[in-house]
Amino acid sequence: MVRTMRLYACLLLALPLVAQHGRYLNESKNPAIGNPEAIAAGGKLFNGSCAGCHGRDGAGGRGPNLVRRALWHPLSDDAIFKSIRDGVPGADMPPTKLPDDQTWNLVAFVHAISGPAFENRNPGDPEAGSKVFWGSKAGCSNCHSIRGKGGRMGPDLSNIGGSRPLAVIREAIVEPSKDLFLLGNEAVTVTLNSGETIKGVARNRSNYSLQIIDRAGTLRLIDMAGVKDLAVSSKSPMPDGYAQKLTSEEMTDLLAFLARQALRTAEDTYSRGKN
């Protein structure tokens, strides 16, 4: 029996990094951190001086992606302050002569965009975004569920705003195959020894068994001894083209809605920031 196992190293290498997303080695006690006014002021400074290299949402351009950096290099507020003030030797990041308060405003902004979307004030109308999510035009709920409602083929999004920065959520929508780091959500095609072909999304894959959510949303447990061929796709099962399918306003509203999806309340976030 011949088995074809097309495994993609990028998925395996990135698995242990997911849990670190948005985390900090330490958080400064500076009052700018978490202060909405300081974050807004830092955002203006960022757009005027930093966005040309790092992108308006910090997702990168000529300069590094500041949002995904936390995936492989957890951040420190003090280290961000030092990088802004002193620059990065050997790179295109120049030193600045900003006063301490403005520098800390910039740090507060970078801290905010690198953390969970739920903790920030995001543009858009969440109520309108809810209609986009549950509506037929986007069709998000055909594959994704929120608090038990919706499809099961895609990842559950009940805590997406509480676990991912806004820029990462947006990237997952407009470029779903750009960075496949969510091992356990691969699109697969399985051919059984019986000749049956099953297409869906893999869950809990091992050398002995495979769980698949098929296109009907049914969870199927498959004994690998009965598998003739297993093909793991290099592309996300999520369709491309949402940047063209949705208007700019619809995309902004959808992101605002997803940013609100968290398993904690705003009061919990506020209390945590005060402690």
Q: What is the pLDDT of residues 55-100, one digit of tens each?
A: 877 877 777 778 776 545 567 888 889 888 888 887 778 888 899 9
46 shares its domain with 172 = no
Give domain status of residue 268, yes or no.
Answer: yes
Distances (CA, A) of 183 to 36, 105, 144, 201, 206: 35, 36, 17, 11, 12
The single-letter code of the amino acid at 36 is P
Q: Let me know if 223 is exposed, middle or buried by CB neighbors in 10 A (0-12, 13-18, 19+).
A: exposed
108 shares its domain with 189 = no
How does the average pLDDT of the chain come out, rounded?
80
The residues that bridge with 249 in the sheet, in sequence order, are none
Q: Is 172 helix (H, G, I), strand (E, B) or coil?
A: helix
**In the prediction, which pLDDT does 26 show?**
61
Indicate whether 218 pLDDT > 80.
yes
Contact 211, 205 (CB under 8 A): yes
Lowest mean pLDDT among 16-30, 58-72, 127-141, 204-218: 16-30
100 shares its domain with 148 = no
Indicate whether 110 pLDDT > 50.
yes
27 shares its domain with 54 = yes
Indicate whether 19 pLDDT > 50.
no
**In the prediction, which pLDDT does 219 show?**
87
The stretch 111-137 carries a mean pLDDT of: 90
Lowest mean pLDDT among 15-24, 80-89, 92-101, 238-247: 15-24
| Of the candidates 232, 16, 37, the residue with the CA atom closest to the CA atom of residue 121 | 37
- Domain with 73 in it: what CATH number? 1.10.760.10
Indicate whether 25 pLDDT > 70.
no
- Domain with 210 in it: what CATH number? 2.30.30.100
Q: How many domains does the chain have?
A: 3
Q: How confident is the model at residue 266 (pLDDT cuts 50, 70, 90)?
A: low
Indicate whether 24 pLDDT > 50.
yes
**In the prediction, which pLDDT does 111 show?**
86
Give domain status of residue 4, yes or no.
Answer: no
Q: How far apart are CA 260 and CA 264, in angstroms?
A: 10
Host domain of residue 80: 23-114
Give domain status of residue 10, yes or no.
Answer: no
Top-confidence residue, 102 or 1: 102
φ/ψ of residue 212, rounded to 5: -130, 135
Lowest mean pLDDT among 9-13, 44-48, 83-87, 221-225: 9-13
| Of the candidates 171, 192, 159, the residue with the CA atom closest to the CA atom of residue 238 | 171
